[in-house]
Amino acid sequence: MADRASGWFGGATPRVLAHRGLAVDAPENTMLAFAHAIALGVEYVETDVHATRDDVAVISHDPDLRRLAGRDERLRDLDLAAVKAVRLDHDQELPTLAEALDAFPDTRFNIDLKVPEAVVPAVEAIRRVGAERRVLLTSFDGGSRRRALRLLPGTATSASRSGVVGMMAAGLVPVPALRRRLLRLALRGCGAVQVPEAYGRVRIVTAERVAELTAIGVETHVWTVNAPLDMRRLVGLGVHGIVTDRADLAVIEVAGGSAEPL
């Protein structure tokens, strides 16, 4: 597990994680969206990484440009120059991971590796900027996450899909000592689980589960929470992080800030 006294986990809890920045008046996952969130005092940005044809890590949630730019092109089929030529609202572009890390040197980044091809380019970008201690690497795909951690040992990470499934299975075990042992095995090396509050009718986040995870040194971060009442309720359950599209609201409701919402 990554060093909790400094690095990514060194900030105060509960944490506000700006989901793709603050896209109230900016395209998501752009430098402007990140700047808007950081200007409010947010220390954590959640973002996503794909790879271009020439193996550069670029920030984007989607694998293609349809939703943001109205273009039927896949990022993996374009080189960096072509990606940079795409203009988004507010004259923004898709930044590279290295550009974002370099532009905001005091910000901690939660990086979702969306595809296996993004692993090596993302690792190279993190190394180039020297950001190993202020990033958390995650992926729904456990293989991608493990590969990234082999290349960046000691970097903070949260559980992949398989770890969350293992966590839920362990929760069914009635014997406390055995249950905690299975939890540790399922979440080995992970400093956090990042989950929705519920999946269908299955409740994932409960006060009891949060407390048990805390006892084994694992934080609970919940996504994607945009309503102030839900933010306060989840913090009341003991969660350590709120992943939100509305960082402007969360800095008031969760972090106790005084910034006015945009």
**What residue segments make up the domains of the chain, in order of their start?**
7-157+220-253
pLDDT (tens digit, 9 = 90+) per residue, 145-196?
Answer: 999 999 999 999 999 999 999 999 999 999 999 999 999 999 999 999 999 9
Res 258: pLDDT: 44
Six-digit token string for 182: 């299975």
The whole-number pLDDT of residue 260 equals: 46
Phi/psi of residue 176, each to 5°?
-55, -45
Look at the pTM and tell me if it is higher than 0.85.
Answer: yes
Share of the chain above pLDDT 70, in %: 95
In this prediction, residues 7-32 reach a mean pLDDT of 96
The yes-or-no answer on residue 90 being catalytic is no
In sequence order, the β-bridge partners of residue 18 are 45, 244
Task: Copy the structure tokens of residue 133.
Answer: 């201690």
> 7-157+220-253 has which fold?
TIM Barrel (3.20.20)
Per-residue pLDDT, 150? 98
Residue 61 bears catalytic tag: yes
**Is the model's pLDDT at 41 over the cut of 80?**
yes
Summarize pLDDT for 73-98 with one digit per residue, the tens: 999 999 999 999 999 999 999 999 99
- Nearest residue to 23 (alpha-carbon basis) of 12, 15, 14, 32: 32
Q: Which of 19, 36, 50, 221 is catalytic?
A: 19
Predicted pLDDT at 11: 83
Q: For the chain, give the mean pLDDT.
A: 95
pLDDT at 221: 98
CA distance 127 to 119: 12
pLDDT of 255 reads 72
